[in-house]
Structure 1
Amino acid sequence: MAAQAKWRPYLQRATELAAHQPVVAHFCRLHAIEMMIHASRKGDAAPDLQNQLLAELQIAEESKKSLNLQSSADGQTTTEAFALRVFDAADAADRAAVDSSSQAAVIQKFYASALFLDVCAQFYDGELPPDLAEKARYARFRVVKIREGLKQGVPSYPAGLEGAPTPAVAPGLGSAPAASVAAAASSAPSMPRAAGAREEAQKKTEMASSALDFGDVPTARKCLLEALQLLS
């Protein structure tokens, strides 16, 4: 993936939200700016990088004047609340999807939610807290699983959904009701420890693949290391 493509989605969201969610749009732009600065420090030789960076910094400075943010906490509260609403809406749409058309629409919803959750990292020195990081990973995971299901003609259901095949999601991810999870666990046949470890490792590699699909190398590396530990 070209370096420029990594921050382009965040700038696109900033443009889309400028009119009706200016605070979120502002922090989407700041997140993209941070990515550009990091690329510049690493020696990115893109000929238009510096010009684009300066242009985006100017836009950010101008937008900040009209936001009337009393503190960074105000921006954090607004941005996180928005990101969580988008994630919850994507998760609800995922659980309500009944055909390939409705599942295809869920892909974009989860993709957007992952981007907005990424934006929140700037409030935590660049690293999301566990709860938000888990949602971002799950959103990416569902994007990949739904996309794969559509290609293969086999629906991919979220964990805990009635009629779904074996849940393709790592433990602790998703938001299935506790009762659904407990029922699934009690009805599932016991399996040898080695087989369970292999299945868990496979899920970890799938999550790594989804992370790489969005350029999230640290998460991909972490998931692959966990998969290797399960198989050792």
Structure 2
Amino acid sequence: MAASNLPALPANLKAIQHYMKTAIEHEKRDPVIAYYCRAYAMQRGMQIDKKSPECRQYLMTLMDFLEKVKSSLQDEAIHNELVGQAHVENYALKVFLFADNEDRAGRFNKNVVKSFYTAGMLFDVLTYFGELSEDIENNRKYAKWKAAYIHKCLKNGETPIPGPLPDGETSDEGIGFDGLNDTGLSANVPSSQFPNDTNTLNPPPAGTHAPPTTPQDTPVPYRAVPQQPVQPPQQPAQPPVPVVASTSWIPPPNPTGVSLTPQEYQKAMKFCKHASSALQYEDSQTAITNLQKALQLLTTGKV
């Protein structure tokens, strides 16, 4: 299924259109980013409205689309969420570093706004995997504020202040991050300009930038310097073994005598997750099918 085959976004789900547009921008450049942008959009959309007929139909179609993408792509970052989380976080931090370096160098333009804007959305997407670390949460707030602040200055013909504001505040004076699309930012900044194969906007590889410096007399409202990029787990990824009272915990043997690999346990978890999603739509048949697949895998080692 092509992304163009997705139905029109219902009005009630307008809040997720930013993430769907970011997915389209990364469709060819980075399918992993596109996949998780849509996965997060679906997750958020279900929280907003999964009952009305038009929203229910849209989200069900999007869920089906994601399943087809997942089955057609062999990238481990899509099939292993630990690797996927590292991929999205590393990419988001590169985009953030690019925008932050441009901002502190005083190079203000729509591309810098777009970079901060996209970094903020990608930090949102990271919540798909769970709660954000304190550093990432601070970077998310800073990126959203910077996008709104620089956009406002450019719109009013003002020169933005590089880096954090001298008074240590990050007030955007009422201009919200979500309001940027209403001003035509996404429409006026073609996806071909951000970030692609051009040298001016492609975020540099991790580690090639020294952390931006901040004058000693300038308070920093947010920790705008990201930590070292997360490294994906080496293959094969092994789950950590908890320790209780200095004794390693050993999982009980499978009652059927089947020996399952960590990857097979992950696959069973995925079936259960799909069943849970189906139950949110009151789709008992899909839930039963996925639970049966999980049970078959756990008892026979095969699906």
TM range (shorter): 0.5 to 0.7
Give how far 1:12 is off.
Answer: 1.2
Give how far 1:183 is off.
Answer: 4.3
Q: Which amino acid in structure 2 is aligned with residue 105 of structure 1?
A: N
TM-score, reference length from structure 1: 0.64
Give how far 1:96 is off.
Answer: 2.8
**Partner of residue 21, structure 1:** 30
**Partner of residue 77, structure 1:** 86
SS in 2 for 1:9: helix
Query: Equivalent of 2:153, from 149, 156, 173?
Result: 149
Residue 31 (str. 1) matches residue 40 (str. 2): yes
Runs of at least 5 residues in structure 2 that lack an aligned partner in the other structure = 1-10, 172-210, 223-303
Provide the rounded CA distance (Å) in 1 between the counterparts of 2:54 and 2:29. Answer: 29
- The aligned runs of 1:133-144 (5 Å cut-off) are 133-144=137-148
CA 1:12–1:3 in structure 2 vs 1: closer, same or farther (change >3 Å)?
A: same
CA RMSD of aligned residues (A): 2.7
Contact (CA 8 Å) 1:79, 1:120: kept in 2 or not? yes
| Larger fraction in helix | 1
Q: Which has the larger radius of gyration?
A: 2
Provide the rounded CA distance (Å) in 2 between the counterparts of 1:5 and 1:80. Answer: 25
Q: Percent identity?
A: 25
CA 1:103–1:79 in structure 2 vs 1: closer, same or farther (change >3 Å)?
A: same
Runs of at least 5 residues in structure 1 that lack an aligned partner in the other structure = 186-199, 205-232
Give how far 1:151 is off.
Answer: 3.7
Query: Equivalent of 2:215, from 181, 196, 204?
Result: 181
Contact (CA 8 Å) 1:146, 1:156: kept in 2 or not? yes
Give how far 1:67 is off.
Answer: 3.3
Contact (CA 8 Å) 2:33, 2:88: kept in 1 or not? yes
Query: Equivalent of 2:129, from 123, 126, 135?
Result: 123
SS in 1 for 2:162: coil
Residue 86 (str. 1) matches residue 95 (str. 2): yes
1:59-103 Cα offsets, whole Å, 9 max, x none, are: 1101112134252111111111111111111112212334xxx33
Q: Which amino acid in structure 1 is aligned with residue 89 of structure 2?
A: E
Provide the rounded CA distance (Å) in 2 between the counterparts of 1:25 and 1:92. Answer: 25
Contact (CA 8 Å) 1:158, 1:168: kept in 2 or not? no
